[in-house]
Amino acid sequence: MSVKKEIGELTEAIINISEDNPRLVADFKSKEVQKLAEVTGRLILNLESKYKAEVRKTDEYRRFLDENRIMQSDRITAYRIQQSMLPTDYPAFDEFPNVDLFADMDAANETGGDFYDYFKTDDDKICFSISDIEGKGIPAAMYMAVSKTLIKLRLESGESLAQVFESVNEQLCKSSMQKRFITMWTGIYDIKSEKLTFVNAGHNYPIIKRDGKPSELIKERSGIPLAAFYSKKRRKFGYTEFETEFKKGDMLLLYTDGVTETQNKNGDMFGEERLLKTVDLYMNRKPVKEPTESRGSMKDLIAYLRRQVINFSGKTVQDDDITMLGIKIN
């Protein structure tokens, strides 16, 4: 029974006594009447106090529900922004059937700043990129959208990859937007020359597996994250382009720290070494005769890696996006 109802019933009972039994009230001695009035008054005050407390709790609960609805709405909005910026067309490049490229993101409970992209820069070159933006929610998603647009525009203008990073870093540092540093790895693959040019802005080292060889990390010198700092002293803070051969049978895996920093119940991280071993275990496995499995495809590899990461974490709550992009030349 609610406090409000209790007060109402008590008041009604007293009124009924006085109206239905006037003699009963009149027969009470003055001290007894006074005592009854005092007890009843204290009871009513106590019930009113409880009622006000219930009202306060109800108001607080309503505010909590309103805030929760707003937060949930923000999460949905951020997730939609994030998803709308991610390419979803597969095969990624119909005109290049020997290029197997696939990317996927397993979003955490609260939308983070992970994103990936891939597109043609000209008739014989494709660009692919992965990035992790500081922060979560709508601000990170909006910053992602701005950064992605700037990079595409700069590449279309004909700048080299290193120049693109220099220009975008300068624009982000000088913008009026709240600063959020961005780690990013971007590569441009030339189909004809079989050369891969890339720049790393503070991102996780990618994994490359040459045909018939063990997987290894590409540990070329990394520049600072985008929007972290700008200086004209480019020798110290600039971005460097690197080039490597990328031929038939070679595979490259890009990923964000949500993969390697996933923890299990003991606090152990999945880590780079475990990721390298897991990639080799999958790529070197014996073929199985199942028509539903496109053995060695990037889609299957990424699905396998995601399962291994999730199994490793067990019931540990995922607090960061798990994002991967793989490309293989067949």
pLDDT in tens, 66-77: 555 655 665 666
* Residue 134 within any structural domain of the chain: yes
Binned at pLDDT 50, 70 and 90, residue 29 comes out as: very low
Shared domain check, 298 and 157: yes
Is residue 21 predicted with pLDDT exceeding 90?
no
Question: Are the CB atoms for 43 and 10 separated by under 8 Å?
Answer: yes
Is residue 27 located within the same domain as residue 127?
no
Q: Counting beta carbons within 10 angstroms of the beta carbon of residue 230, is it exposed (0 to 12), middle (13 to 18) or buried (19 or more)?
A: middle
Last residue of a domain, one of 75, 104, 134: 75
82 within some domain: no
CA distance 279 to 260: 13
Same domain, 204 and 104: yes
How many CB atoms are located within 10 Å of the residue 127 CB? 20
* 22 belongs to a structural domain: yes
What is the rounded CA–CA span in Å between residue 283 and residue 276? 11
Same domain membership, residue 65 and residue 134 = no
281 shares a domain with 153: yes
Residue where one domain finishes, among candidates 37, 54, 75: 75
Q: Which residues contact 187 (CB under 8 A, 6 or more apart)?
A: 127, 128, 129, 196, 197, 198, 252
Whether residue 81 is contained in a domain is answered as: no
Specify if 25 maps to a domain. yes
**Residue 28 pLDDT > 80, yes or no?**
no
Residues 109 and 196 grouped into a single domain: yes
Provide the pLDDT for residue 330.
92
Percent of the chain with pLDDT over 90: 39
Residue of higher predicted confidence among 16 and 213? 213
Structural domain contains residue 166? yes
Query: What average pLDDT does this structure show over 163-181?
Result: 82
pLDDT at 222: 82
* CA of residue 171 relative to chain centroid, distance: 25
Residue where the block lists tokens 């110290």: 236
Domain assignment present for residue 80? The answer is no
CB 246 within 8 A of CB 188: no
Question: Other CB atoms closer than 10 Å to residue 176's CB: what's the count?
Answer: 4
Are both 100 and 68 inside the same structural domain? no
Same domain for 35 and 151, yes or no, is no
Rounded to the nearest integer, the mean pLDDT of the chain is 80
Judgement on whether residues 70 and 94 belong to the same structural domain of the protein: no
Distance (Å) of CA 35 to CA 21, 38, 42, 243: 19, 5, 11, 96
Between CA 139 and CA 146 the distance in angstroms is: 11
The pLDDT > 70 percentage for the chain reads 67
Other C-beta atoms closer than 10 Å to the C-beta of 131 total: 25
pLDDT surpassing 60 at residue 272: yes
Domain stop point among 49, 75, 101: 75
Tokens of 282: 């999958």
Give residue 4's pLDDT: 53
State which of 43-52, 132-141, 251-260 shows the largest mean pLDDT.
Answer: 251-260
Within a domain: residue 48?
yes
Q: Is a pLDDT exceeding 50 seen at residue 84?
A: yes
**Are residues 176 and 260 both part of a single domain?**
yes
Residues 301 and 184 in one domain: yes
Give the chain's domain count: 2
| Banded pLDDT at 47 (limits 50, 70, 90) | low
- CATH code of residue 166: 3.60.40.10
Identify the weakest region by mean pLDDT among 34-38, 125-129, 258-262, 312-316: 34-38
Amino acid residing at 231: S
Residue range 278-308, pLDDT digits in tens: 999 998 876 555 444 445 799 999 999 999 9
Residues 255, 304: one domain?
Answer: yes
Q: Domain limits at 69?
A: 3-75
Buried b (16+ CB within 10 A) or exposed e, 239-269: beeeebebeeebbbbbbbbbbbebbeeeeee
